[in-house]
Structure 1
């Protein structure tokens, strides 16, 4: 099997519109949550989310082009452009038949679908749909557009596993390169769910926090007073390639992907297994594939969305795999970025890789009153970032339907 490395990364997030600002603000413990600006939320239970800040799409994509895309596709293009740039990639010098795109989105074009349905109802008897309606909403279109823009003719498809989506995409990319089916793959995920339908739907399922009085402090994983997740938007892009291919083109290597575990809770439509059965299986599989022991892991970027049941079930699974270990650093970066749903795994993979590069654990913010059974079992990295050597970082993501995806990243040493 070939070794797989990360040679480019791009981030478009509620706490930073590029890789540098994302990582800087994550380390600083900055919250991306604020009142929603995109539409009137007065009739909803939740009035806030983690929107992108100071971001003008027209500065990145001409309006004549972006009008053909849903927001989630545009976000993907912006993140991928950064990853290609900082990866020093010139596709003219590569065999594009050996470069693929495996991209993820859990919701696809939900904004386009919502707007078109509202317009249809308002317009009365005559249905008038945008001619780009179907290509804008289908979840695979971002992968297709990335491929078309750069002329990449290798494996091309989209993964959908709800909030585990982009971790699944990364694992699939890792496997395709290991198996020799591609030399390089553009991977990651994008999501633009902050819409009338997204907010209304998650409110109806009682998944979102309704702490409108303190939006910035609403996402507080592990806290006894947590009341739900905070929705986020954006994209994360990673360039994965075989070590040999990267070395041949003199690429800068950010880190190495060494293991991926996928499993299922097989338990409930939206809820996690109470004892984290799927999470336990996924983490164990990732460790087995990486050929390392639990004690080799220095940092876990938890899925930890700040939901009452989800946080505890994941902690239970971690306890089954790792035992009690106060020296194991854990953090929940969703406390800052919000939950980017299908794109969560991509930006959390980037955070995990950056932790191995800088030997810094990004913090869990807002959490003040930790669940008493878990207060002392692990270092939850509360409040401020922590300096420590990070040779191996694990990233967990779980999705509605019981989907589990865990990836392990290793500090790269030449």
Structure 2
């Protein structure tokens, strides 16, 4: 028997495919890649998916002092989610005490830190560097802007950060700690220093000149890694009863979540650990593997990571694996690290709402070790889709899975 579900009543997005969830989802269905070349001055060619973003609708020039891009993106996405949920009006102090903010952020204010390092040689480190780059700044800016007086928490769990944040928000609602949660993640790390650090790990995709858009090839035989992305995504979560009482539209219901730790290696994933998180999410949702029609996979297109994720799915789905449609949208929007789980959760919600699933792009020759039912471009309709799962597997060994069902 599954527990009462959590209603997703608002979606907010600032992404490489724009800030309108419907338009961004349509672009993904068409297989449009936002990955392009960046920083031509670096010793090695670099690729990334950046978000076109103007902070002026949300910040005055005076307010922007000491506010890193990661917080700007977060505040904008959270405000868009609140507006989508019909919660634009200020709330009372008593209501504010029953609201929480739960944010995933892996690296904090990378732009502020980069500026501090570059300015340090001349002794001109900006005085607001610390409050600008601290990882909890995005959550704090949302709380200050909206007078959220309940728990305001930040989760820094590498690539699982915002999936964990959404799960923790749902737990708080289910336990009665809060009535509503602003939950999601933000990441803005497209700066030279961070890109070079990831290049040193040899996990980033490469591509010949002019072929950046197709560089990321999840589950393909010729995959070479991921491209970094930036953006923010937020969900407004409420109990289904509260949503019904205020007449709110529900995009989907969050019915299960699970987390686990490999506890074996900082950077090498483990199928058994991932499988534990997937099983826990299904168990909480009260669903059997065959009840789930789509998986938005973690799918980083790394040589090591993709086959291990496939093995984890096979362990859980067993004979039902051929019926599970799978895609990694990182091929199109890049890897948002701390915000990846939130963006991909939003995409999973849109898949349920639209009854369509994004394609797994650029993998014309799948790796035989990745025997999955990968979604093909042009074959994205999913008229019978009722439940979907989103997976996030992190450096450090933390695994997270979120199960959503149609409202």
**Kept in 2: contact 1:367–1:382 (CA 8 A):** no
**Kept in 2: contact 1:17–1:52 (CA 8 A):** no
Distance 1:141 1:171 in 2: 20
Alignment of 1:6-405 (within 5 A): 6-36=8-38, 40-53=39-52, 55-89=53-87, 90-92=89-91, 95-121=95-121, 123=122, 127-213=123-209, 214-273=211-270, 276-324=271-319, 325-375=321-371, 378-388=372-382, 389-405=384-400
- Tell me by how many angstroms 1:59 deviates: 4.1
Point out 4+ residue stretches in structure 1 off by more than 6 angstroms: none
Distance 1:128 1:61 in 2: 25
Distance 2:327 2:378 in 1: 10
**Kept in 1: contact 2:29–2:377 (CA 8 A):** no
Distance 1:92 1:159 in 2: 26
Distance 1:364 1:57 in 2: 32
- Tell me by how many angstroms 1:31 deviates: 0.2
**Kept in 2: contact 1:166–1:343 (CA 8 A):** yes
Distance 2:90 2:386 in 1: 31
**Kept in 1: contact 2:42–2:192 (CA 8 A):** no
- Tell me by how many angstroms 1:270 deviates: 1.4
Distance 1:187 1:331 in 2: 24
- Flag the 1:137–1:358 CA change in 2: closer, same or farther, 3 A: same
Instruction: Tell me whether 136-145 or 94-103 shows the greater mean CA deviation.
Output: 94-103
Distance 2:290 2:239 in 1: 27
Local SS of the residue matching 2:158? coil
**Kept in 1: contact 2:30–2:377 (CA 8 A):** no
Distance 1:205 1:45 in 2: 13
**Kept in 1: contact 2:73–2:186 (CA 8 A):** yes
Distance 1:262 1:4 in 2: 18
- Tell me by how many angstroms 1:385 deviates: 4.8
- Flag the 1:277–1:46 CA change in 2: closer, same or farther, 3 A: farther
Distance 2:5 2:402 in 1: 15
Local SS of the residue matching 1:305? coil
Gaps of 5+ in 2: none
**Kept in 1: contact 2:357–2:381 (CA 8 A):** yes
Local SS of the residue matching 1:361? coil
- Tell me by how many angstroms 1:277 deviates: 1.6
Distance 1:385 1:219 in 2: 20
Root-mean-square deviation over aligned CA pairs: 1.4
Distance 2:248 2:240 in 1: 9
Local SS of the residue matching 1:198? helix
Q: TM (normalized to structure 1)? A: 0.94
Distance 2:222 2:273 in 1: 26
Give the number of equivalent residue pairs: 400
- Tell me by how many angstroms 1:2 deviates: 4.9
Local SS of the residue matching 1:386? coil
- Flag the 1:153–1:59 CA change in 2: closer, same or farther, 3 A: closer
Distance 2:379 2:155 in 1: 32
Q: TM (normalized to structure 2)? A: 0.95
**Kept in 2: contact 1:2–1:179 (CA 8 A):** no
Q: Deviations over 1:266-303 (max 9, x none)?
A: 22221212xx1211110011111111111111110000
Local SS of the residue matching 1:164? helix
Gaps of 5+ in 1: none
